Structure 1
Amino acid sequence: MLFEPTLLVRELAIYRGAQHAYRASFHKGVNIISGENSSGKSTILNLLAYGLGADISTWSEHAKLCDRVAVEVSLNGSIVTLSRAISEQSGQPMDIFIGDLAQSEQAPTAAWTRYPYRTSQSKESFSQAVFHLLNVPELETEASGKLTLHQILRLLYSDQLSPVEKIFREERFDTPALREAVGRLLFGHTMLIYI
């Protein structure tokens, strides 16, 4: 049975030029990325979170050698590929392709739709686009405006540098109103995310 909204990560591809620097398929349930210390596990997870919409701009030396990340996801059963250029500048846009990763690699640029990180008067943000595909209502706070995928991923994904006693991944601009809005969205409107 599929609950809505559900985001299921199906495949991850990290590119260096036209070549894959890393590619992995995922299945429903728990997926384990294993390796020795300093083998790149955290880099892979950071790139996965970034591909899903997290705003990350501090990269490992290995991540800086790569150009782009693409994540094939199932959004309420619809297959979509999300792609972002790897950059040290925050607020990068996201390209969205309706179809799987293999199809996206063969598709012309015109088959993709580019969404900015932030909403403008002429275009919705990629967070809003993904929320629409998930049938998640828009939630807005007085202090920070509309909720973003980055803000939700801060609760779902914690890196090694965040204190273990914190629920949210550490960030400079963190308000109680923002944390409350994320909590209301996730727990008032349950959203299942499988990786």
Structure 2
Amino acid sequence: MLKGSEVKIIHNQADKASYNPLKDEIKLPPKNQFEDAGKYYATALHELGHSTGHHSRLNRDLSGNFGSVSYAKEELRAEISSLMVGSELGTGHDPSQHTSYVKSWVKVLKDNPREITEASKDAEKIASLVLSYEKEQVKTTSEPEKINISLKLAEKLAERFSNEEDKNRFLQKVLEQSEQSSIKPVIQIKDEVKKTEVDPER
């Protein structure tokens, strides 16, 4: 998703993360500064949510400074969308990383209770766009990458062969076929595995 978004990501921060709409770039601390991969990606996806407000995407107001009403509204949208994306991906969501915004959210919602509905609607749009980046990445996968995926699958399935000679012959056949088509190897792999299951002597 991060690659599919085409938003520039720079790992040069000490202890904060941010999105700059003027440069259309996300700044994060190095990955090894996060407690675990889950917290790194939760933070990265939160900032990616902000990037959807860029004028070339969903065009939201990203001009607010910390403590302002517009800033609180944008953070609320990014937070709800992060929860949605985390739920969709099965990575979970850690609200403790954004507790500094709670007071401003409460004020915004107290002044305008309907804001939670508006924020949720925008968050759905944000989450949909963020999730679509993965699909775009899959669509634009190059032919060499597709072939490589097929070969990795072949290696995994070849483990089911008990005879080392047959295993090597099988992998060689897949390799030859992959030079002609990135789809064919997967079909042939399934056929070979079925034959192996039927004929134990193979």
User: Under a length normalisation based on structure 2, what TM-score does the superposition of the two structures give?
Assistant: 0.29
The structure whose RCO (Cα within 8 Å, separation 6+) is larger is 1
Kindly indicate which of the two structures has a greater share of residues assigned to helix.
2
Kindly indicate which of the two structures has a greater share of residues assigned to strand.
1
Q: Considering only CA atoms, is the larger Rg found in Structure 1 or Structure 2?
A: 2
